[in-house]
Amino acid sequence: MLVGHSMGGFVARAALVHPGLRKSAVETILTLSSPHQYPPVALQPSLGHFFSHVNEEWRNGYKKGVSHTSSPKLSNVVVVSISGGIHDYQIRSRLAALDGIVPSTHGFMVGSSSVKNVWLSMEHQSILWCNQLAVQVAHTLLSMIDPVDRQPFLSSQKRVFVFAKMLQSVVPQSLSWMNHVSGSQSSNFLASDTREAGELQRNDTLFCPPSVLWTSDGLEKDLHIQSNLVTVLAMDGRRRWLDIKKL
């Protein structure tokens, strides 16, 4: 899994179609305010040609070959692009879009203020350290890991499902294909993993106490713990215990 900011996101995509990279070495890419369509500033013609070359490789990477016997080169690769929004004057949303490069079955773009639990638009640098987004992105990446073998989910559809569930406040029209996945099937994407995670919780005392109940729809709801004490991460980086009743 690669996470890239600005040109780093495009470099991650360029590396994926480099002939020297081992196949399946990277199957998930998350970009933050990265230009995908064309360079934000055309400093020299070679940069524009390089963008065109990489994007053409990606388009071909999702197409089936003449033989139809082998799967496309990028058939298992998922890409999600997070744009800064109206305050990002360097990389506008149209540059961060994946339209015509990555099919909607394998990725999407979302604006920062449209991400779950995030209500701020970000400029080009602050997208790296805005706590609202950093927490949600970290939680999303951890949700990509299979609790049994501790590796990212193999299924590209499952990874797109987790990305959409964790990042999107509303499923956009471009992901309408997900509606064809039955409700029971989509919930089973995560329900089976929740049962396996439950086994790990019972065998490991470092996990949350058994009084905390985890369900398959836990990603959509806030965690409710019946207790007066809560711990808060303050701006100075220290954790503090607060008693709700006393407050």
DSSP conformation class of 91: S
Query: Which of 6, 33, 112, 113 is labelled catalytic?
Result: 6
Q: What are phi and psi of 83, to 5 degrees?
A: -95, 155
- Reply yes or no on whether 6 is catalytic: yes
Beta-carbon-side half-sphere exposure of residue 15 (alpha carbons within 13 Å): 17
C-alpha distances out from residue 192 to 130, 163, 199, Å: 33, 17, 11
- Measure CA 123 to chain center: 19
Q: Which of 91, 138, 125, 131 is nearest to 111 (CA)?
A: 91
Q: Are strands 229-233 and 107-111 parallel, antiparallel or unpaired?
A: unpaired
Residue 230 region by backbone torsions, left for phi larger than 0, else alpha for psi between -120 and 50, else beta: beta
DSSP conformation class of 71: P
Residue 149 burial (CB count, 10 A): 10
Residues labelled as active-site residues: 6
